Amino acid sequence: MRLSVRHTTIYRFDAPMRFVTQSHRLTPSTCTSQRIVAWEVGAEGAVFGASFVDGAGDRVTTMTVEGPVERIDVTVTGEVETFDAAGVLRGHREIVSPRTYLRPTQRTKANGALGELAAGALAAAGEEGD
């Protein structure tokens, strides 16, 4: 199956910015069950620097826009071909364990109501939480 993607993120600033630098993680990975056919990230007036793969395995691309600028529209367009793998992502190397993102921190700790909701969902699924 081929998936066509077009997504725009709009950044607005209260006051004109003299210079904007952003790092984006907007490129999908290639693995056994998907292949990038075409992919482009663009923004009017932007200069895109070199990209690299970060410690989590994500492709990071840096973009700069010289101002003054009050708004930046970052648009992603592309096409990805996916292959039937019975709903299983195959051949993707996950460098950071997904469990890392499930840990609570001081800023992400669930309050009592959210904890009760999660416990109820786990109980309904026949699982236990911690």
pLDDT digits (tens, 9 = 90+) for 110-124: 788 888 898 888 888
Report DSSP state, residue 31.
B
* Residue 129 pLDDT grade (very low, low, confident, very high; cuts 50, 70, 90): low
> In the chain, where are the structural domains located?
2-123
Report DSSP state, residue 98.
G
Give me the mean pLDDT over the 32-41 stretch. Answer: 93
pLDDT digits (tens, 9 = 90+) for 58-100: 899 999 999 899 999 999 999 999 888 887 777 777 778 778 8
Report pLDDT for 107. 80
More reliable by pLDDT, 97 or 51:
51
Tell whether the model's pLDDT for residue 3 goes beyond 90.
yes
User: From residue 42, how far is each of 48, 80, 81, 96 by CA, in Å?
Assistant: 8, 17, 21, 28
Q: Please give the radius of gyration of the chain, using alpha carbons only, rounded to the nearest integer.
A: 20
Report pLDDT for 40. 96
The answer to whether the pTM exceeds 0.85 is no
Alpha-carbon span 16 to 108, nearest angstrom: 32
pLDDT digits (tens, 9 = 90+) for 5-30: 999 999 999 999 999 999 999 999 88
